[in-house]
């Protein structure tokens, strides 16, 4: 632009991250120059993951949130049903590397069913990936049946 503005559209680290110098010259021939560094920050990219299906009560399952690209430092967090994951019975989240976190469910129970999200943050922003877990459980009695005796000819309701 005539006013000296440089516009770089759709910045890419490989082609646009560099040192840029602007030189201005006036009508008397005087020049001024300024230099700046352009650093391109890369958002975290999460490799898609999913729980094995079907998963039955008592079994174990794990997923790994792997950040395949993105500038460090990275902050990786797990969410359950839209809320930060709280360590509870049978659920463990462990950072296993700078770019990876493991979520282990052992033993699985009905209360572990729901949506799990991995959220990765760095200076460039945030990315997330969500998957669902469905734990199959055996049926259980709400009210356990008991033996009843009825008089012959009466109405029986159980």
Find out if CATH 2.60.40.10 is the number for domain 45-136: yes
- Phi, psi for residue 100 in degrees, rounded to 5: -150, 145
Task: Return mean pLDDT, the chain.
Answer: 93
Q: Mean of the pLDDT values across residues 41-68?
A: 96
Per residue in 92-105, pLDDT (tens digit) is: 999 999 999 999 99
Q: Mean of the pLDDT values across residues 52-76?
A: 95
18-25 vs 114-122, strand pairing mode: unpaired
Tell me which DSSP letter residue 16 carries: H
- Reply yes or no on whether the pLDDT at 55 is more than 90: yes
| Size of the chain in residues | 158
H runs (alpha helix) in the chain: 13-16
Tokens of residue 76, six digits:
């990786």
- Reply yes or no on whether the pLDDT at 112 is more than 80: yes
Q: Which of 35-39, 96-100, 139-143 has the lowest mean pLDDT?
A: 139-143
Q: Which of 9-18, 55-64, 128-137, 138-147 has the lowest mean pLDDT?
A: 138-147
CATH 2.60.40.10 residue ranges of the chain are 45-136
Q: Mean of the pLDDT values across residues 60-89?
A: 95
Indicate the pLDDT class of residue 131, thresholds 50, 70 and 90.
very high
pLDDT at 89: 85
- Reply yes or no on whether the pLDDT at 53 is more than 90: no
- Reply yes or no on whether the pLDDT at 158 is more than 80: no
Q: What is the 3-state secondary structure (H, E, C) of 35-72?
A: EEEECCCCCCEECCCCCCCCEECCCCEEEEEEEEECCC
């Amino acid at each position: 632009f005539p006013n000296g503005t440089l516009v770089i559209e759709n910045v890419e680290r490989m082609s646009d991250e560099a040192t840029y110098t602007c030189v201005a010259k006036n009508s008397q021939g005087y020049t001024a120059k300024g230099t700046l560094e352009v650093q391109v920050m890369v958002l975290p990219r999460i490799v898609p993951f999913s729980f094995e299906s079907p998963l039955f009560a008592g079994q174990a399952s794990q997923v790994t949130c792997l950040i395949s690209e993105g500038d460090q430092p990275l902050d990786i967090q797990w969410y359950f049903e839209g809320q930060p994951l709280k360590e509870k019975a049978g659920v463990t989240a462990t950072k296993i590397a700078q770019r990876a976190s493991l979520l282990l469910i052992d033993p699985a129970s009905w209360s572990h069913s729901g949506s799990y999200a991995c959220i990765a943050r760095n200076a460039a922003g945030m990315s997330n990936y969500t998957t669902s877990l469905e734990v199959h459980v055996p049926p259980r009695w709400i009210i356990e049946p008991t033996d009843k005796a009825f008089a012959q000819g009466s109405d029986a309701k159980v």
